[in-house]
Structure 1
Amino acid sequence: MAKKLFLLDAMALIYRAYYALIRAPRITSKGRNTNAQFGFTTTLVDLINKEKPTHLAVCFDTEADTERHTDFAAYKANRQAAPEDLTSAIPDIKKIIKAFNIPVVELDGYEADDVIGTLAWQAADLGYDVYMVTPDKDYGQLLIHKGVYIYKPPYMGSKEEILDAKKITEKWCIERVEQVVDMLGLMGDAVDNIPGIAGVGEKTACKLLKEYDNLENILAHADEIKGALGEKIRNGREAAIMSKKLARIITDVPVQFHEEEYMLSEWNIPELKDLFAELEFKALGKRILGDEFNVFEKVATTPSGGQMDLFVTVEEGKTIDVQVADISEPVENVGLTADKNISNTPHNYTLVEGEEKMKELVNELMAIEEISFDTETTGTYAHDVELVGLSFSYKQGEGYYIPAPKKHEDVLEFLEYFRPLFNDPNKKWVGQNVKYDLTVFKWYGVEFAGEFFDTMLAHYLIEPEGRRNMDYLSAQFLQYEPVSIDELIGKKGKGQMTMKDVELEKIKEYAVEDADITLQLKNAFAPLITSRKVDKVFADVETPLIKVLLDMEYEGVRIDKNFLSDYSKELEKEAACCEENVYAVAEVRFNLASPKQLGEVLFEKLKLDPKAKKTKSGQYATGEDVLMKLASQHKIVDDIMGFRELTKLKNTYIDALPLMINRKTGRVHTCYSQAVAVTGRLSSNNPNLQNIPVRTERGREIRKAFVPRDEHHVIVSADYSQIELRIVAAISGDPNMCDAFKQSKDIHTATAAKVYNVEEADVTKEMRYKAKSVNFGIIYGQGAFGLSENLKISRSEAKEIIENYKKQFPNIQQYMDAQMKFAQKHGYVETLLGRKRWLKDINSNNFTVRGYAERNAINMPIQGTAADMIKLAMIKIHSEFKQRKLKSKMILQVHDELVFDAYKDEVELIKPIIIDCMESALALPNEVPASADLGVGDNWLEAH
């Protein structure tokens, strides 16, 4: 068996791991960012499992200066400070490496690449195949030695890449790998602040090396090189010599490769378990250590009465920023500490069967004011499940489970026993994601008259970006690990069994435990809602919205299947036409849906862009941004983009919508989620209404499929007008912008007149377009570069427009500055109603991380206030319709728009109700008016 040594460039991999998850960080229950630890561990284990190295070591830089710093004081001086979360991760990562029994190699006075270079050559001399694991291109110079390779691990969906000397020369456009350092001496390296020769880039360096072979020879013949280039070389002589020295990797570092020390050996499992538990690597821990691994085994409580930052957990793929600065009450026993479970915790869970027992339970519960409840069902889509049973709890550690009959008609009779309980308006019902349970009941004709406390929504307002799985919340806040679904039905039963197949005693424990834990979570969250000062949003917005969304989902919307069928065929023909046009121009048939094949046609066959960029996987980038830039150069691009739009519309919406029609109602019932978007915006799925296209004519046509329920109804659509800009004007108090809205002016025309210093009547279409871009862009952190890219104008013109904008609307900049200062001081920002977003990184020394938090500090109060406003409008409209007992129903909410299935005889009655409720939902500061527009039609598009 060949001996394989892998040497890992630790800091390069750690940085890469951290930034790969920067928009969706992994946050532990104690608020720690574990991006770097998680990403590095994943890379390490995947490498071991896939490549099967016989020997391995991880090499680190140290904080000590090197000879390079002595030679050139500015070496690496332009690097921004590492994010605090990254630097704090390094001790954890070193512990993880050592727990895997892998050596950590570092030496003061030398960088990791020097250590790796030395060890690589030593091991190669002993007959090893050596793989240097790094994304750093500078390592190419080391491939002069036989048996040494660069291993670039997978990243952001790309595959791993193994580079040998041949591939390095091809990538660098050189003839020998020795010339890598010559290239760096000529063109420098901005990452390490190696200067090179000013004005000499990669292409010029490549050309010079082809003619003169190395840097020294180029400098020796500098007088022969004519023109500006010769002058640059002569002037940059000293910088080039220094740069080459800085770029050269040292291969005689005083370290020694010892085969026995670097050989992979048994892992220290107990140590890994402790580390993974502390870092809360639940899924990763199971994947590496086996199913028996349990994050909750390690106990790490927060001392009673201690204050702490906001404790947050997050699933992969979600975005999060977190911090609490103003905690008015201590938080006790918070942390991921599930040392309790059903087997070691006293409890009294009762199974209730039979008519008499059920009547006794109902009588008992009628005397209780606050009851936690939960439903057990046959699935997760509330609009198409069957009830398996009910559980109730009103005292910690106690509860009841009542199994439902098997047949649907018997369930209806079964629920009648509980109707007096559900009809009691004095009850407060506690639930986790209570809308789901209410939806299940509503399909059986049962509604609740009382109030609600939803623990999921409570936690959402306390920790807007936190994970909301009840099992995790239980561990975090109650130090209790609930029975898992795997324990209930067994892994083999997953996907094959429903709750109806599980033995009754097991369901009882599982179901009542849910109700019991939910009650305990309510008691933990109630004081936090008050101390975090989000009680107003909870009481006035999120809680009353539950019933509004419940009714909207239940109503659903009728879909015109015939229209979609015809439209699908139409788009299929158009897509085929676009496809044939592409083949005709390209003079070759290929898979147009394949980005790889498309890139080869565009950039190798047609040669549309000699500077075409490639993705991490090595194929050409063919995203929309790339195609947009090429659109003016070749007509083939229009057909490519047309094909993409047509096939996406057809596959994602037109062919998918009919499949979502409910078999019982013939209507589509979307599911709204209140606790997903950190801004407070609603999201939806099955179908996702928020993504219904509106920007293109073909996309808008999809709205024609959303139609009234019958000939006695029409679709009414009401939409806020420029609500986010109105909110900006209101909270900034900018006089010019406020006046424009008060006078009902077109805000973009009014802005253009101010920015370009012309009368409003003289504003051109182009001026208005540019002003509109500034209006929406500047409040989301867009600078001159972004504006110039959007408008296809020069950077200087974009800069001038922004400067004029700030002069004419000075309070906008003042608002942004004030928001930044507030966030830096308090660690959060908030909407007008007090919805908060915690910004953990607002004071980070790393400008990339800090910049992301700063943009959120500016735009969250705007977006969040808009979200609060439309939610309040929905609550008011729903209440008005109920009180008046109208037949018209609110059925859809999409961004700033509400859609109604309106009874024709009520249309003129509901128009002013809708407009008034929307415009009066939330009074904006500085008397800035909210404005809503309304339309009526035989389908959504016509009404919109």
Structure 2
Amino acid sequence: MHQLVTTTDQLHDVIEYFETREGFAFDVETVGPHRGVPAVNEVTWLSLSTDGACSVIPLGHPNGYNLLRKATRRKNKQTGEWEHLPALFDEPPKQLRPSQVFGALENLFFSDRVKVAHNAPFDLLSVAKYFPGRGFPPPPYGDTIVAAWLLDENRLLGLKPLDRERYGLDYDHDNTGKCVEKHPFGQVQEYAWLDGRTTWLHWKDMRPKITAEGLDDMWALEMDVLHCLLHMGRGVPIDIHALRELRTRLRAEMEHAEAEVYRAAGKVFNINSTPQKQKILYEEQGLKPRKLTKKGAPSTDAEALEPYKGRNNFVNALLGYQDVSKILSTYVEGYLGDGEEKPTQIFNGRIYPMLKQYGTVTGRFSASTPNIQNWPRADTEWGKAIRDLVDPLPGFVLLVADYAQIEQRILAHFAGKGALWQGFWDGVDAHTATAAAVFGVAPEDVTKQMRQVAKAIAFAINYGAGPQKVADMSHTTLRRAKQILATHEKQFPEVYAYKRKLLRTVRSRRPEPYLRTLLGRKRRLPDLLSYDRGHRAKAERQVVNSHIQGSNADITKLALVRLHKSLLPDMQILLTVHDEIAAMCPADIAEEGAKVLHEAMAGEGMQLLSVPVTTDVKICHRWSEAK
């Protein structure tokens, strides 16, 4: 079979062979200023691999095999300015046009054969635009990055680390794939061939292991999620005018916030200088460091300063400044771009976030370009402002829903009958019920401060935090925090019994401790057996968090899949952020669309917990209206 395909006859030979196989792996190399955005990148290499064959198809590589001149800089004698001279290569071989290649491959990609890639949503969406009118290739899919993650979420998931791990294969020291157009034809050909070939070999190795690990159900769910992500890959419409207005507003807010910092400090200083902030905070203000940097210096980040929020004017002002600065830099200028270091992340009036179903060890999504998963909370001023940039098309509305206190409900399910479990059945807010029990008051007499303490306790339970964190979050003393936690254990003994039993069970599993989430995902915690006390303690804190957060991920992913399978005509899932799901729906069927979203999240088949799971769908034109 042809390893390099540059003629139509060779291409037809490849297609004829691949059509006899049950599946194939493929990999693309892309170029352009936004090569990482499938909607707008350009595919210049395509590799196809299956049993007994791997073929590489160039689709317009600009360089030949030989480097004639290295990239260099020289001074212009007339202007005196330095000029960049790109590398010069000999002429590239004749290559097929993308329209020729994808036109011939259309039947293969749109067949019922398994289509495998490493980070399949990127590759599938990158080729989809070459099949106008067809959308993206249909399932079944295989994704070796998801397979590798399901089999060991703690390892490096890139193709090169996996190649080194399994084959001892160490290649691409020049980072060829980062910018293929800078490299000679033969080098890129070899690189593309290795990527395509090892992807198929990893698939053949990993897929049986998923069955052996008892993860077939999770694999099926994740492949359904992948299908959903392709649907979401059509992008999210953004109100660019509102984004520019927000930039103006935030810049003015930055000036005000900076002035407040100087006022609180009693002097002007370099607000971006960490040493100067350290001196003011920990010497002049006399604060006690709560967190150290990797180099052992007192930290000045938000987490380190949060315990002093509301207690120290300088901290209040500095946190306000850092908050506004992050919003402006990350979510506004980061989206719009500055024409230089920051490229725009908006194309055709839309953003195209890449949601990574494998992005965390617990199973929750992460995201990039842009990272929507680190948007501020929806109930904050800036969280609402960022979400309000999502702009439904004319004639459409937004449908927004989230799960009410889902992690506390999962905790109640795992802990079993008791005060927390009963509170959900009685319809009492979880934090209110906790505060009422801890402080010995009726639910209606719970104050805002009491609820804050209850939230701190929930954080401590779910994230393995200690009394000091509870004290910091509750704005109380360490002694009082210990008393509160002791009272909580007396009132909610089932919660602590669950924690102890789970830790014993997980630690007893050999050769590698692991737990399973609500739907059966495995979370491996080898450091539970570590001889290093610090590593072991960290793993112990992760046990409950992984159990609860992983189960939360299961529920959210299942809801997305159910929604995708029941979408009404022209209805589109836009985003999932934390526990929220947002969809765009034609206004004339909004009520029906809201019922579909509610049914997907909390209808029949979603009674996975022993306590009620509730969600409230809002129909709105701006996301802020949902809160």
TM-score by length of 1: 0.57
CA–CA distance in structure 1, aligned partners of residues 531 and 14 of structure 2: 59
Higher relative contact order (CA 8 A, sep 6+): 2
CA–CA distance in structure 1, aligned partners of residues 544 and 268 of structure 2: 49
Report the counterpart of residue 341 of structure 1 in structure 2.
none
Report the counterpart of residue 10 of structure 2 in structure 1.
357
How far did residue 796 of structure 1 move? 4.0
CA–CA distance in structure 2, aligned partners of residues 593 and 696 of structure 1: 28
Does residue 529 (structure 1) correspond to residue 234 (structure 2)? The answer is no
**What letter matches 2:48 in structure 1?**
F
Of 248, 264, 271 in structure 2, the residue corresponding to residue 569 of structure 1 is 248
**What letter matches 1:399 in structure 2?**
C
Length, aligned pairs only: 580
* Equivalence map 1:925-940=2 (5 Å): 927-940=610-623
Report the counterpart of residue 854 of structure 1 in structure 2.
540
**What letter matches 2:142 in structure 1?**
F
Larger radius of gyration: 1
Does residue 401 (structure 1) correspond to residue 56 (structure 2)? The answer is yes
- Secondary structure of the residue aligned to 2:214 is coil
Of 17, 27, 33 in structure 2, the residue corresponding to residue 374 of structure 1 is 27
Residues 376 and 389 in structure 1, CA contact (< 8 A), matched pair in contact too: yes
Report the counterpart of residue 67 of structure 2 in structure 1.
none
* Equivalence map 1:71-220=2 (5 Å): none
- Secondary structure of the residue aligned to 1:930 is coil
Does residue 389 (structure 1) correspond to residue 37 (structure 2)? The answer is no
Does residue 559 (structure 1) correspond to residue 238 (structure 2)? The answer is yes
- Secondary structure of the residue aligned to 2:566 is helix
How far did residue 377 of structure 1 move? 2.4
Report the counterpart of residue 435 of structure 1 in structure 2.
121
Of 134, 137, 146 in structure 2, the residue corresponding to residue 457 of structure 1 is 146
Q: Which consecutive residues of structure 1, in runs of 5 or more, have no partner in the other structure?
A: 1-347
How far did residue 873 of structure 1 move? 0.8
CA–CA distance in structure 2, aligned partners of residues 393 and 634 of structure 1: 62
Does residue 676 (structure 1) correspond to residue 362 (structure 2)? The answer is no
Residues 431 and 455 in structure 2, CA contact (< 8 A), matched pair in contact too: yes
Residues 734 and 810 in structure 1, CA contact (< 8 A), matched pair in contact too: no
- Secondary structure of the residue aligned to 1:936 is strand
Report the counterpart of residue 502 of structure 1 in structure 2.
184
Does residue 762 (structure 1) correspond to residue 449 (structure 2)? The answer is no
- Secondary structure of the residue aligned to 2:564 is helix
CA–CA distance in structure 1, aligned partners of residues 194 and 452 of structure 2: 58
CA–CA distance in structure 2, aligned partners of residues 603 and 759 of structure 1: 42
**What letter matches 1:576 in structure 2?**
E
- Secondary structure of the residue aligned to 1:679 is coil
Of 375, 380, 400 in structure 2, the residue corresponding to residue 717 of structure 1 is 400
User: CA 1:695 to 1:925, structure 2 compared with 1: closer, same or farther past 3 Å?
Assistant: closer
User: CA 1:610 to 1:442, structure 2 compared with 1: closer, same or farther past 3 Å?
Assistant: closer
How far did residue 549 of structure 1 move? 0.9
Residues 30 and 45 in structure 2, CA contact (< 8 A), matched pair in contact too: yes
Report the counterpart of residue 586 of structure 2 in structure 1.
903
Report the counterpart of residue 513 of structure 1 in structure 2.
194
Greater alpha carbon shift after TM alignment, 583-592 vs 430-439: 583-592
CA–CA distance in structure 2, aligned partners of residues 534 and 864 of structure 1: 14
**What letter matches 1:875 in structure 2?**
V
CA–CA distance in structure 2, aligned partners of residues 580 and 670 of structure 1: 35
**What letter matches 2:521 in structure 1?**
R
Of 212, 215, 219 in structure 2, the residue corresponding to residue 538 of structure 1 is 219
- Secondary structure of the residue aligned to 2:39 is helix
* Equivalence map 1:3-22=2 (5 Å): none
User: CA 1:916 to 1:415, structure 2 compared with 1: closer, same or farther past 3 Å?
Assistant: same
CA–CA distance in structure 2, aligned partners of residues 459 and 484 of structure 1: 21
**What letter matches 2:617 in structure 1?**
L
Residues 359 and 367 in structure 2, CA contact (< 8 A), matched pair in contact too: no
Residues 397 and 585 in structure 2, CA contact (< 8 A), matched pair in contact too: yes
How far did residue 900 of structure 1 move? 1.3
Q: Could you give the per-residue CA deviations for residues 249-268 of structure 1, whole angstroms, max 9, x where no partner exists?
A: xxxxxxxxxxxxxxxxxxxx
- Secondary structure of the residue aligned to 1:350 is coil
Report the counterpart of residue 227 of structure 2 in structure 1.
547
Residues 345 and 369 in structure 2, CA contact (< 8 A), matched pair in contact too: no
- Secondary structure of the residue aligned to 1:388 is strand
- Secondary structure of the residue aligned to 1:376 is strand
Q: Could you give the per-residue CA deviations for residues 759-783 of structure 1, whole angstroms, max 9, x where no partner exists?
A: 3333333333322322332232233
**What letter matches 1:859 in structure 2?**
N
Report the counterpart of residue 316 of structure 2 in structure 1.
638
CA–CA distance in structure 1, aligned partners of residues 190 and 251 of structure 2: 53
CA–CA distance in structure 2, aligned partners of residues 723 and 611 of structure 1: 35
User: CA 1:584 to 1:518, structure 2 compared with 1: closer, same or farther past 3 Å?
Assistant: closer
Does residue 667 (structure 1) correspond to residue 350 (structure 2)? The answer is yes
CA–CA distance in structure 1, aligned partners of residues 175 and 344 of structure 2: 34
Percent identical across equivalent pairs?
A: 28
Residues 568 and 654 in structure 1, CA contact (< 8 A), matched pair in contact too: yes
Does residue 800 (structure 1) correspond to residue 478 (structure 2)? The answer is no
User: CA 1:754 to 1:557, structure 2 compared with 1: closer, same or farther past 3 Å?
Assistant: same
Q: Could you give the per-residue CA deviations for residues 723-760 of structure 1, whole angstroms, max 9, x where no partner exists?
A: 11111111221333222223332122222233334333
Report the counterpart of residue 648 of structure 1 in structure 2.
326
Does residue 609 (structure 1) correspond to residue 282 (structure 2)? The answer is no
Q: Could you give the per-residue CA deviations for residues 127-158 of structure 1, whole angstroms, max 9, x where no partner exists?
A: xxxxxxxxxxxxxxxxxxxxxxxxxxxxxxxx
* Equivalence map 1:716-795=2 (5 Å): 716-795=399-478
Q: Could you give the per-residue CA deviations for residues 645-690 of structure 1, whole angstroms, max 9, x where no partner exists?
A: 2222212222221236567522111111122200001100111111
CA RMSD of aligned residues (A): 3.0
How far did residue 795 of structure 1 move? 3.6
Residues 654 and 702 in structure 1, CA contact (< 8 A), matched pair in contact too: no
Greater alpha carbon shift after TM alignment, 505-514 vs 459-468: 505-514
How far did residue 848 of structure 1 move? 2.4
- Secondary structure of the residue aligned to 2:370 is coil
CA–CA distance in structure 2, aligned partners of residues 598 and 488 of structure 1: 41
- Secondary structure of the residue aligned to 2:402 is strand
Report the counterpart of residue 688 of structure 1 in structure 2.
371
How far did residue 384 of structure 1 move? 2.9
**What letter matches 2:560 in structure 1?**
M
Report the counterpart of residue 415 of structure 1 in structure 2.
102
Report the counterpart of residue 592 of structure 1 in structure 2.
271
User: CA 1:655 to 1:536, structure 2 compared with 1: closer, same or farther past 3 Å?
Assistant: same
CA–CA distance in structure 2, aligned partners of residues 904 and 853 of structure 1: 48
Residues 376 and 387 in structure 1, CA contact (< 8 A), matched pair in contact too: yes
Report the counterpart of residue 471 of structure 1 in structure 2.
160
User: CA 1:589 to 1:677, structure 2 compared with 1: closer, same or farther past 3 Å?
Assistant: same
How far did residue 712 of structure 1 move? 0.9
How far did residue 610 of structure 1 move? 7.8
How far did residue 566 of structure 1 move? 2.1
Residues 11 and 101 in structure 2, CA contact (< 8 A), matched pair in contact too: no
User: CA 1:599 to 1:761, structure 2 compared with 1: closer, same or farther past 3 Å?
Assistant: closer
Report the counterpart of residue 201 of structure 1 in structure 2.
none
User: CA 1:629 to 1:732, structure 2 compared with 1: closer, same or farther past 3 Å?
Assistant: closer
User: CA 1:661 to 1:705, structure 2 compared with 1: closer, same or farther past 3 Å?
Assistant: farther
TM-score by length of 2: 0.84
**What letter matches 2:160 in structure 1?**
D
User: CA 1:785 to 1:639, structure 2 compared with 1: closer, same or farther past 3 Å?
Assistant: closer
Greater alpha carbon shift after TM alignment, 670-679 vs 744-753: 744-753
CA–CA distance in structure 2, aligned partners of residues 359 and 613 of structure 1: 66
CA–CA distance in structure 2, aligned partners of residues 921 and 515 of structure 1: 42
- Secondary structure of the residue aligned to 2:3 is strand
- Secondary structure of the residue aligned to 1:893 is strand
* Equivalence map 1:296-335=2 (5 Å): none
